[in-house]
Structures are given as C-alpha cells and as structure tokens.
Amino acid sequence: MKTPAAKLLVPLTLVIAAGIIGLVIWRAGNSPGSRGARLGFQEADAPLMMPASGEVDERFCLLTAWQRVQIPPAARFDPPLGTDHGGLTYNAQQFWEMNDGRGGRHLGDDLNGIGGMNTDLGDPVFAPADGLVVYAGEPSPGWGNIVVLAHRTPDGMVLQSMFAHLDRIEVLPAALVGRGMRLGTVGTAHGAYPAHLHFELRASDEVEIGGGYAMQQLNRLDPAATLAALRLAPPADRSPSVLACLLAPNDNPWSGLETKDAKGAERLLELLGKDKSR
C-alpha cells in the first residue's frame, strides 16, 4: 500500500521535469546566437526599426534589393574637390599613411584647398560619379556629417565613395545624384579638425561606417589611384545623366549623345522624330 506522499511523487516529478525542460527551451530561444539565426527567415517581413537593446542589427548594414537595383552605372569618376581635374587641392594625409597618434593607417585621403587651414571651409564637395545616396547623416561626433554614395563600375562592381567631416549635407538619403553635383561642403566636424575632406573609396555594397584608421586595409581602396584608373573613360563611355539612368538603365539612345556638332544635332532630331528639312 502506497502512502499519499508516494502517490504524489510521480506526478510531482513529471511537473518539475516539464518545468526544467520548458526553462531550457525558453533560455535557448533567447540566446544571442539563436536570435541572429531567427532573423534570417522569420523576421524578414518585420518592419525595420532600431533594435530594442541597442545591439547591431546586421540588416541595416546591407543595401536592400531595391537600393541595389537603383545603383546607377558610372563609367567615369572625377575628383570630389577642387576643379574637375583635382586642381587647387592637395592631399594632406594620403591613403595608408601611418598615423601614430591614431594608432593606425589612414583609410582615405585628406583633401584640402591649397590655401591651407580653414580657407576651404564651406567649399563645395562634388559627386565624383553618378551614384545613389546610401547614407547621409552624422554617425558620431568624431566623423561629423557624412555622405556615402554607391556606384556601379563598368565591370559590374559596386563601389562606395564616402565624404566625411562635412560642414553641410546637401543631399537626401535615397537620392540619385549625377557626376559633378554638389553633395555638401567641406567642414571641420564641429571644430574637431582644420577644415578638410576625408574621402574614402570602398569596394563594398555594405554600409558600415567604421573608423578612419586601421592596421588592415579592409574593403578600402586607394582613392587617388582608383580615381586615376576610373576617370579616363573616353567621351563615348561617359556616364549618362541620372535622368537617362532612370528612363532606361541599360540601353538608352541618349547616352553619349553630343549636340555640339551638326552630326549630333541630326541625331537628336532623329530621336525626337522630327524631319530636319522642315
């Protein structure tokens, strides 16, 4: 004959075991690793918002599919400061120079007006090529205002150009900009440095601002050397206008159209469906 206590032992053990199993499953579901794994499939349709506990949400680093298809082709790149040949500027701190004070190598070029110090404060910064604004804002006080553009090179690679310490930002996120359009003005990051443009080129379609110095090159390219390689496209291959990109991204009759001579004017009339003899 069992005592009442012995009768209760089996169901009590089962209840406690179920509680322990439940607790283990609940804790496993809340561990950081499984949260990241869940984001991949379960929350793909969830509205984008800032993560509640402040951790990095990797979805913000990658361009969306919509952003990626909007990145315009850019066959030609020009310097972002000074004249269209980069005249009237000098490079105060070149790419990959060691900076002991900052404990790393410089990941961009520091472009300045030739007057030195703050004489270039407020000078316009130009889009080096047709591009999509994928970031415009202030990620931290040390960076100040930043604009990041995404470009698609003729071989299909996505390049990003980054313009830091700006005094003013003159473009909005998600805007398409044409080569030579103003992006903002040279600044000091609220007085942190003498006015200059920290200019980076990155081989990436991931928006991750990072730091300006490191001991690894990461995805950064030598801006001066890369511009030199990309800027000498012949006139026929020059970037079409942003409007042309919007109208017909792949094969548009307007790209490369020159109207300065009779042949160009003839072609223009032909495209407009007009008879030049009238």
DSSP bridge pairs for 158: 152
C-beta separation of 184 from 163 below 8 A: yes
Residue position matching structure tokens 């990109």: 245
* Contact pick of 110, 123, 130, 205 for Zn ion (by CB under 5 A): 110
- DSSP state, 246? H
What is the smallest separation between the CB atom of 193 and Zn ion, expressed in angstroms?
Answer: 8
How big is the site for Zn ion, counted in residues (CB under 5 A)? 2
Least distance CB 118 / Zn ion (angstroms): 16
Beta strand 176-177 pairing with 131-137? antiparallel
Residue-by-residue DSSP string for 212-243: SEESS-TTEE-HHHHHHHHTT--GGGSPPPHH
Written as six digits, the tokens of 20 are 């322990």
Q: How far is the CB of 199 from Zn ion (least distance, A)?
A: 8
Query: CB 108 → Zn ion: shortest distance, Å?
Result: 5
Min separation Cβ 221 and Zn ion, Å: 15
Closer to Zn ion by Cβ: residue 63 or 162: 162
Does position 165 bind Zn ion by CB under 5 A?
no
CB closer to Zn ion out of 76 and 198: 198
Q: By C-beta, is 74 or 164 nearer to Zn ion?
A: 164
Q: Give the residue from 88, 134, 130 showing the smallest Cα distance to 111.
A: 88
Q: Apex CA 23: angle with CA 17 and CA 28, to 5°? A: 130
Task: For residue 26, report the phi and psi dihedrals to the nearest 5 degrees.
Answer: -65, -45
- Given the rule CB under 5 A, which of 47-55, 97-105, 179-187, 191-199 is the region that contacts Zn ion? 191-199
What is the number of residues in the chain? 278
Which residue's C-beta sits nearest to Zn ion?
Answer: 198
Which residues within the stretch 198-217 sit at the binding site for Zn ion (CB under 5 A)?
198
Q: Which residues bind Zn ion (CB under 5 A)?
A: 110, 198
